[in-house]
Amino acid sequence: MAEGKKDFSMEQRLLLAFVLMGAVIFVSQYLLPKSPTPAAQQKKAAETAKKQDAAPAGTPAPAAAAAAPADGAPAVQVAQQAEFPVFENDLYRVKFSNKGAVVMEWELKKFKDATGKLLNLVNDENATQLGTRPFTYQYKDQKPSADLNEKLFTVTRAADGITFNYADGATVAHKSFRFTPGRYLAEVDSAISEKNVNLTHALIWRGGFGDHTVPKAYAAQFAVYLPPSDSSPTTFESAKAKDGPITNAGSYVFAGLQDQYFAAVALPKPGQTIELTALSDSLPYPAKSKDFMPFVGAGLSIAGRNQFTMFVGPKDLDLLGETDKRLVSLVDWGWFGWIGRPLFAALRWLDANVVHNWGWSIILLTIVINTALIPLSLSSMKSMKKMQSLQPEIQRINDKYKGVGFNDPKKQDQNKEVMDLYNKHGVNPAGGCVPMLLQFPFFIGFYKVLNVAIELRGTPWYWVHDLSQPETIPVRILPLLMIGSQFYLQKMTPASGMDPSQARMMLLMPLMMGFLFYNASAGLVLYWLTGNLFGIGKQLLFNKIIPASPAPQPAAKKKGK
């Protein structure tokens, strides 16, 4: 062994594992028919105007003022008053405004926010603060002579969506939203022309996206796009665009916005080049406070005319796969997807077929995992018992080299004597760490499942309102139970090779674990608490069936001649 180094004890390895767990917790954390072309709608408006001229006196005038074109100019289509049309089906309710033809609210009917209301993907406070709403126009080069974001568009309602039109004789604008029944899909079509010249423009969504009622919502919101050659999407957090918009363009599979559990992404047609602009806005957080936080935004643009399908809904693996198999990459399993995916599949199966409750599914799966690890735990326990019986001999070696510093060459002799003692009695000093190391991937796997699987979002379990979030009660019960069970389990576990100072340090481990887990999701704490309770029962059983190894007898000293 090299000078200045020593073997890590089981307790030190355990401490290192917990530190890594803490680091992971904190670091990891936060398609339809085309709408009519503007020219066709202008022709229809002109025909409507002629009919109105021939209508008998007393016929109510429509909301839009229509005039026949003059000198080849397009028909005038300007609404006379503000309107807030609503499109609604079984999945969502979308409220529009004809001022700028923008979205005011986009509510998902099957999901609620932390306040118990229908989840609105539009952050109303931020949108009001910015004075802009989703699908607002933004121009890259040439601007139209009319400020379309301030103009009143005419509204045409249909069974599958809503169409907005504007024309003033020079500027013509069209924006339509067509929704697919039973799917989280909308066909978006937006075109602007100035004196018959098409103007390239972006449709922007600023001020954040998704569930803005969760703690630190801004930290989980990203602009996102997937190049066709990549298996995982590229994301932009708001901080990356704090010094100005970041623009990327390509034949992307999808591009748009996402938060932890929801996404609003455009799906361009094959071969179509779409431009994504990531934006950042510093806004009060919480609302109306003096503290400001960066919120992400995005602009989507296709040269000439914006025509694309948008997925606006939950990042549910089944729904994403039915829409486009490559959309499933929005669910980020990270490096531990190899364990997270099968854990999620097992939890979903238990919920659907056995216990019909996600909380009990977590408990049952934890018991299954720990039961499978019993043979390894049994071997580890035997090794720890042997190490415990060797303590008198280890203490004799330590006394022999008392006062020897780490840099002293004699320290290497001390380590060699200890290792020889272990080898002589068939003891693996790292054996007690193996079960903990095997638990670590399961721990990260459960963390990822609770962090990305929308099926667990808002799932209750007794007093816990949402297993994917920390408990909402003033004093969180699960972390306190975890601290108590961790302390009891530690006291009853054989202490191998531990001096008094190490023992005192290990008494702080339950408190450290409580600190790390206090703000963790309730489901993750439930997993660790169940493991502790299972470990207590397992330890009581092992203490009965595994007798303590007899202490080795010191070798008899040879008498001198």
The reply to whether 553 falls in a domain is no
Does 154 lie in the same domain as 133? yes
Same domain, 118 and 39: yes
For residues 154 and 104, the answer to whether their CB atoms sit within 8 Å is no
Tell whether 111 is covered by a domain.
yes
Domain end marker among 311, 332, 353: 332
Mean pLDDT of 239-262: 93
Same domain, 440 and 508: yes
- Would 54 be classed as within a structural domain? no
Q: What are phi and psi of 524, to 5 degrees?
A: -70, -40
Instruction: Name the residue range of residue 389's domain.
Output: 10-27+340-545
* Domain termination residue (choose one: 332, 349, 372): 332
Q: Are residues 361 and 297 in the same domain?
A: no
Residue 256 lies in a domain: yes
Would you place residue 499 in the very low, low, confident or very high pLDDT band (cuts 50, 70, 90)? low
Q: First-to-last CA distance in the chain?
A: 37
Predicted pLDDT at 549: 53
pLDDT at 33: 42
Give the 3-state secondary structure of 290-304.
CCEEEEEEEEEECCC
**Number of folded domains in the chain?**
2
Q: Based on the domain organization, do 420 and 291 belong to the same domain?
A: no
| Structural domain contains residue 388 | yes
User: What are 68-97's pLDDT values in tens digits?
Assistant: 343 445 689 999 999 999 999 999 999 999
Same domain assignment for residues 195 and 135: yes
On whether both 344 and 317 belong to a single domain, the answer is no
> Across 273-336, where does the E strand assignment appear?
274-284, 292-301, 306-314
Q: Are residues 221 and 153 in the same domain?
A: yes
> Is residue 57 included in any domain, yes or no?
no
281 and 393: one domain?
no
Q: How many Cβ atoms are within 10 Å of 150's Cβ, its own excluded?
A: 8
Predicted local confidence at residue 500, as pLDDT: 57
Same domain? 321 vs 453 = no
pLDDT at 421 over 50: yes
52 has a pLDDT exceeding 70? no
pLDDT at 51: 42
Distances (CA, A) of 180 to 90, 122, 138, 322, 493: 11, 20, 27, 13, 60
Do residues 511 and 405 both lie within one domain? yes
Average pLDDT, the chain: 83
pTM: 0.78
- Report if residue 168 sits inside a domain: yes
539 located within any domain: yes
Residue where a domain stops, chosen among 278, 310, 332: 332
pLDDT at 496 over 70: no
CATH of the domain at 253: 2.70.98
Residue type, 344: F
Shared domain for 18 and 35, answered yes or no, is no
